[in-house]
Chains A and B, each alone.
Chain A
Amino acid sequence: MPWDRNQMAARAAEELEDGWYVNLGIGIPTLVANYVGDKDITLQSENGMLGMGPFPYEGEEDPDLINAGKQTITELPRTAYFDSATSFGMIRGGKIAAAILGAMEVAENGDLANWMIPGKLVKGMGGAMDLVAGVGRVIVVMDHQNKAGESKLLKQCTLPLTGTGVVDRIITNLGVLDVVEGGLKIVETADGVTEDDIRKATEATIVD
């Protein structure tokens, strides 16, 4: 069985090491926070916060306290606030150990496309280009194939890029792959999924 959204998030949480400062993207990456367990992880929200807490209880929402997805959140005893220039200073400056992001396409050389589809609604890149350019490790969590059943792991991205050669590891519903010299390397398969299943579902070059 391929992994579901929560299993993908749980697998992504295994990537995080005790003491890390981490930025989580919108969608499945947000769920990763539910699976960090006892590890001491500090979440960064790029609109100006370290130490992001859970959603507030009803009636305790604060319009001055939101995450990068504009959702109401809460603070923790460790929380620090800062302005956007400082926030992206720590992102570009390599102080954030890892970012876990969603993607539309990943290429075998680590190119990432996740911000626009030409001719369709264009919303903007937000902080994604800064994150992939600056953080220590870029981990992509996404479905292996799109809704049409086509591989999202490609020889070359077709969509406008967010960054070139930036992705380190990809966690999909089928397994875990690393970007290595010459292509992608299968690190792990989901329960009941074979390496052959992954090869068949992947356009990108798989190396041994």
Chain B
Amino acid sequence: MNKIYGTASEALDGLLHDGMLIAAGGFGLCGIPELLIDAIVDSGVKDLTVASNNAGVDGFGLGKLLDTRQVRKMMSSYVGENAEFMRQYLSGELELEFNPQGTLAERMRAGGCGIAGFYTKTGYGTQIGEGKEVKVFRGEHYILEEGIFADLSIVKAWKADETGNLVFRKTARNFNPPAAMCGRVCVVEVEEIVPTGSLDPDHIHLPGIYVHRLIQGQHEKRIEQRTVRQKETA
């Protein structure tokens, strides 16, 4: 079965509909599926719910989907880098469901593993725990969190083989594997598609069973906070 498509728009053909739930990989602007986000902007699909740790920045990443008002609701842990996001949220145009970062990651992983819910200590006794079932295990309080079952996963990896086996690079892995797992369909963009057999099977980070469609493309890979140190001069 061929998983390789020519462009991001072709790879998303037939998968998008208004009101759908999309899980996106990435942390800040690191390892985000920037080509697929652009194609979703172009498609004009709307009323989206997007599960993603962050919401991009103004004019880049998921920020582009906010600029065009295609997102109805975000499920995120941290959204501090985006002025347009704040404006829409404070004016009531955009819904926001805060998830502790580890809870969001585990909700994606659980959804992908067929686990409908799990108990975690994270958020017990805080606003996050309000209205959620509480259970005591070994003398400690845990709250029930539900798995995320997304309609679509959009993911960025470094390399793929033709069967969709994925390798990520450094901290660009982040939310991409759990996001990939929790979608009914998963579309992945990579920097390079290599011939099947050229990746070491022991070094695959995410097996191709989770990957349905694949594109290769050029990535801008913008840096959010460029921090450097000076070389000591002798």
A148 touches B (CB below 8 Å): no
Q: Which of B209-234 contact A (CB under 8 A)?
A: 221-231
Q: What chain A residues lie within 8 Å of B53 (beta carbons)?
A: 84
User: Nearest chain-B residue to A60 (Cβ)?
Assistant: B228
Dominant SS at the B interface?
Answer: loop
- Tell me whether A72 and B101 are in contact (CB under 8 A): no
The size bracket of the interface on B is 35 or more
Binds B, one of A127-135, A139-147, A183-191, A198-206: A127-135
- CB within 8 Å for A125 and B100 given contacts A48-B171, A83-B176: yes
- Tell me whether A160 and B225 are in contact (CB under 8 A): no
Q: What chain A residues lie within 8 Å of B225 (beta carbons)?
A: 66, 69-72
- Tell me whether B228 and A56 are in contact (CB under 8 A): yes
- Taking a contact as CB atoms closer than 8 A, the residue among A81, A85, A126 that contacts B77 in the complex is A126
Q: What chain B residues lie within 8 Å of A121 (beta carbons)?
A: 80, 86
- Tell me whether B173 and A129 are in contact (CB under 8 A): no
- CB within 8 Å for A124 and B170 given contacts A61-B226, A70-B28, A84-B27: no
Q: What chain A residues lie within 8 Å of B108 (beta carbons)?
A: 85
- Tell me whether B78 and A57 are in contact (CB under 8 A): no
B103 touches A (CB below 8 Å): yes
Interface size on A, residues (CB 8 A): 52
Contact indicator per residue, chain B 83-127, by CB within 8 Å of chain A (1) or not (0) = 000100100000000101111111011000000000011111111
Q: What chain B residues lie within 8 Å of A45 (beta carbons)?
A: 171
B174 touches A (CB below 8 Å): yes
B149 touches A (CB below 8 Å): no
- CB within 8 Å for A64 and B105 given contacts A81-B171, A164-B126: no
- Tell me whether A57 and B177 are in contact (CB under 8 A): no
Q: Which of B176, B224, B230 has the most CB of A within 10 A?
A: B224
A78 touches B (CB below 8 Å): no
- Tell me whether A130 and B169 are in contact (CB under 8 A): no
What residues of chain A have their CB less than 8 Å away from a CB belonging to chain B?
45-49, 54-58, 60-67, 69-73, 75, 81-85, 87-89, 91-92, 121-130, 133-134, 160-165
If A47-B171, A60-B228 are given as contacts, then 20 extra A-B residue pairs at C-beta distance below 8 Å, sorted by A number, are: A46-B102, A48-B171, A48-B174, A55-B229, A56-B227, A65-B171, A69-B225, A71-B227, A72-B223, A72-B226, A83-B177, A84-B102, A85-B177, A87-B102, A87-B105, A88-B102, A127-B77, A133-B123, A134-B122, A163-B125
